[in-house]
Amino acid sequence: MKNYMAPMEGVTNWVYRNAYHDCFYPMDKYFTPFITAKPNKRLSSKEIKEVSPETNGSLPVIPQILTNNAEDFVKTAHIFRDEYGHREVNLNLGCPSGTVTAKGKGAGFLGEPEKLERFLDEIFEHTDMEISIKTRVGTDYEEDWDRLLEIYSRYPMKELIIHPRLLKDYYKGTPRYELFQKAQVSLKVPLGYNGDIFSVEAYQEMREKFPEADSFMYGRGVIARPYLLDAIKKDTWEGCGSSDSMESYKKKMRQFHDRLYHDYQGYLSGERNVLFRMKEVWSYMAPGFTNYTKYLKKIKKSQHFGDYEAAVMSLFGEQEITGA
């Protein structure tokens, strides 16, 4: 069973993944937030940092591409291959954001199965790179999945990572677990499960539901409790001062926080930009503490490093983590 960090625009960027990798149970792969493929694409300096070995060291990073144009996909994939040494790329067929789906990209592409099939024909024909896909199970109806499974079964993809929600579900309700099971029956390619693994208990439940899944991908659960994999693996892993005590997880969280905060200060200019990134992370992480509401409010209201640091120090000093 492999463990992957989910791509999360604005959160799991190169700064975050480096800090995570050094502090917690390491992931087998880190997927970049989506990079939009464009005709005559040159990567922006932000995008270069996402995919370059200079900023990612030896971390197993998989660049993710968002597009519905096969030529643009292949061109961008080949930039990742030729300039940054990548052998695998991931296609985003899951993003539910209105600005993306309105252009027929991300999960919006799932609503045009014939076009999607032609697109996949072309990209699999025109590159020798390994292609993995991250997908939702349809746009509006569970029946969408049957057609999509038929399509996916035709391609030699490296892996299909499934977030079993429809586009219309956004992130609401319970994932449609039966649709993941359906994929296990009809597809031969390796399958990854993604969705709502927020605790050790949820992890165990998914392991029981999907014993044949090749990988689990973690998003919001790991951002909220970055020690989640340490807690899941505690019986088998001896790394990084591993211990199962809450006190030790809290200490590691503090170290991780300080590292991330420090690294953002080195990379971003101005208090505002650094605090913007940290506030985004805290919107997931604070609910993992007891009585967190007033601390989160203070963190969110902080305008300067001084007020921010005071709010974070009081949260760590006065409250406990709730555990995974």
The closest residue (CB) to ligand FMN is 219
**Segment interacting with ligand FMN (CB under 6 A) among 53-61, 137-145, 218-226, 233-241:** 218-226
Binding status of residue 196 toward ligand FMN by CB under 6 A: yes
CA distances (Å), origin 14, targets 168, 219, 264, 272: 30, 15, 10, 19
Q: Which residues contact 46 (CB under 8 A, 6 or more apart)?
A: none
Task: With contacts defined by CB under 6 A, name the span among 4-12, 21-29, 37-45, 271-279 that binds ligand FMN.
Answer: 4-12
Query: Is the dihedral angle over the CA atoms 101, 165, 138, 106 positive or is it negative?
Result: positive
Smallest CA-to-CA distance from 239 within 30, 60, 24 is with 24
Residue 9 engages ligand FMN in binding (rule: CB under 6 A): yes
Which of 148, 197, 228, 286 binds ligand FMN (CB under 6 A)? It is 197
In the chain, the N- to C-terminal Cα span, in Å, equals 20
Compute the distance between CA of residue 291 and CA of residue 280 in angstroms, rounded to an integer.
Answer: 19
Which one of the spans 54-62, 215-223, 249-257, 294-302 is the region binding ligand FMN (CB under 6 A)? 215-223
Q: How far is the CB of 261 from ligand FMN (least distance, A)?
A: 19
Q: Which is nearer to ligand FMN, 63 or 316 (CB)?
A: 63
Q: Which is nearer to ligand FMN, 34 or 308 (CB)?
A: 34
CA proximity to 106, closest of 59, 37, 58: 37
Whose tokens are 């996402």? That residue is: 50
| Residues 145-164 contacting ligand FMN, CB under 6 A | 163
Q: How far is the CB of 304 from ligand FMN (least distance, A)?
A: 25
Residues comprising the chain, all counted = 324
User: How far is Cα 31 from Cα 26, in angstroms, rounded to an integer?
Assistant: 13
Give residues in contact with ligand FMN (CB under 6 A): 6-11, 33-34, 64, 92, 94-95, 134, 163, 194-197, 218-221
